[in-house]
Structure 1
Amino acid sequence: MKRGVFWLIDDKLLCYPFDGSIKNGVAKSGNTYNHRKLWEHLRCCGEKVGFDYYPRGRVEITRNGKAIIYMSSHIGNEYIARICEAFELDDKPGVKYDYSEHYHCHFDWDE
């Protein structure tokens, strides 16, 4: 099981399980990636949009070894299996849709 972050861009998941290989995107904790820092490093899609433009989420692993997926409400359940595969999640993870501004994207700005 791996921690990390992901974006949903035009129905395609861009998943970045943490392995430490991208040094410019590491979060303060040192054990996962930070969306903003990683986006700046990747310059995803050749677009000039911010890290928060597309729906995004993250996978965390609790101290008890349970995986939890936190994600934008604009990412449907149909993506969970692919997220599990990308982050090598064995057990059924907890899924928490985060409606806070932390996970807002352009779909929320248009509302």
Structure 2
Amino acid sequence: MSDDGSRSRGRLVPTVAVGLLFAVLALTVLSADFGEVAAFPADASIVHNIGYALFNLGEYDLGAVPAEGFLAAFLIAAVALDVAVDGAVYLAKREEDGSIVAAVGEALTDGGREGGER
């Protein structure tokens, strides 16, 4: 068996690494220049502007809020990735005797003993 001293020394390096990573991230965020805050105009309809951005109609000056024209491509890619993940989950399922069995098998939550006896 190992004593508590060797366990604490083994945790020192990851603890210091996490602390340094936090310090670097905090320094990065605190020293970043985010520019001026922009707000939506008071009379602009955000719902209409999202629709105009979806179909890239901003170039026709229909929307009061400027937007990027890649919203439809982003949504199509999001739906395609969602379908891929759903398909992977569906393919990971197994069937035994007509019933669906979890992909990871049977989980023994009582310390590895079947029947739950201690």
* TM-score, reference length from structure 2: 0.19
| Larger Rg over CA atoms | 2
Indicate the structure with greater strand content: 1
* TM-score, reference length from structure 1: 0.20
Taking CA–CA contacts closer than 8 Å with sequence separation of 6 or more, which of the two structures ends up with the larger relative contact order? 1
